[in-house]
Amino acid sequence: MSKFKIDFMFIILCFFFSVKLMAWGERGHHVICEVATRMVENEELAQFLRGRGHQSGHVCNIQIFNGKIFL
């Protein structure tokens, strides 16, 4: 095989595997945000967030690009 074909195949494989390896996905962001609401040290903020962890997980999955919100 030529060097070009080997390099091309390597790049394609890296592209396909990097999508899975580098992305947390919706569930990962949801879990991190839900746990973060439980780790707040400020008592007033912790009291406000108590019971809102699941909602915060959903808010973390809202994508904002250039001021536009995509759900």
In-domain check, residue 10: no
3-state helix, strand, coil split of the chain in percent (to 5) is 70, 10, 25
pLDDT at 71: 57
H helices within 23-66, ranges in order? 25-38, 43-49, 53-59
pLDDT at 10: 82
The alpha carbons of the chain give a radius of gyration, in whole angstroms, of 20
Residues 53-70 pLDDT 10s = 888 888 887 766 556 666
User: What are the residue ranges in the chain where pLDDT is below 50?
Assistant: none
Which of 19, 20, 14 has its CA nearest to residue 6? 14
Domain count, the chain: 1
pLDDT at 41: 92
The answer to whether the beta carbons of residues 34 and 56 sit under 8 Å apart is yes
In-domain check, residue 47: yes
In-domain check, residue 30: yes
